[in-house]
Amino acid sequence: MGAEDYLRDYLKQDSFFQNKVALQPNYHPEDINHRENEITKITKILAPILKGHKPSNVFMYGKTGTGKTLCAKHVIQQINTVANENNKKIITLYVNCKLKRVADTEYRLVAELARMLGTELPITGLPTDEVYNVFFKIVNIQECPILLILDEIDQLVKKAGDDLIYNLTRINGELEKSHITLVGISNDLSFADNLDPRVKSSLSEEELIFPPYNAPQIQDILRQRSEKAFKKNTVEQGVVEKCAAYAARDHGDARRALELLRVAGEIAEREGKNSIALEQIDEAEDKIERDRVVELVKNQPKQFQACLYSIIQIVSNSKDEVYTGDVYEFYKQLCDKTDLRPLTQRRISDIIGEFDMFGVVNAKIVSKGRYGRTREIKIGLPQEVKKKVLNILNVELGL
Partner DNA sequence: GTCAATTCACATGAAAGAGACCACGGTCTAGTG
Partner DNA sequence: CTAGACCGTGGTCTCTTTCATGTGAATTGACGA
Which stretches of the chain bind DNA, using CB under 7 A? 100-101, 104-108, 122-128, 159, 301, 303, 323-326, 341-347, 349-350, 352-353, 365, 367-375
Is residue 250 classed as helix, strand or coil in its secondary structure?
coil
Give the other-Cβ count within 10 Å of 390's Cβ. 18
Strand partners, 149: 94, 183
CA distances from 193 to 31, 68, 201 (A): 33, 20, 11
Give the other-Cβ count within 10 Å of 373's Cβ. 11
CB of 371 to DNA, least distance (A): 5
Nearer to DNA, 48 or 342 (CB): 342
For the CA atoms of 232, 233, 238, 244, what is the dihedral angle to 10 degrees?
-20
Q: Which residues contact 395 (CB under 8 A, 6 or more apart)?
A: none
- Look at strands 361-367 and 373-379 and give their pairing: antiparallel
Nearer to DNA, 83 or 164 (CB): 164
- The residue type of 28 is H
CB of 168 to DNA, least distance (A): 15
CA distances from 155 to 206, 278, 388 (A): 20, 37, 31
CB of 158 to DNA, least distance (A): 11
Q: Please say whether the beta carbons of 80 and 50 come within 8 A.
A: no
CB of 349 to DNA, least distance (A): 3
CB of 256 to DNA, least distance (A): 27
The values of phi and psi at residue 95, to 5°, are -130, 135
Give CA–CA dist 317/319, Å, rounded.
Answer: 7
Nearer to DNA, 32 or 126 (CB): 126
Nearer to DNA, 134 or 258 (CB): 134
Nearer to DNA, 64 or 303 (CB): 303
DSSP code, position 17: B
Nearer to DNA, 47 or 340 (CB): 340
Q: Please say whether the beta carbons of 63 and 253 come within 8 A.
A: yes
Nearer to DNA, 8 or 347 (CB): 347
CB of 64 to DNA, least distance (A): 22
CB of 155 to DNA, least distance (A): 11
CB of 306 to DNA, least distance (A): 10
Nearer to DNA, 56 or 119 (CB): 119
Give CA–CA dist 215/242, Å, rounded.
Answer: 9
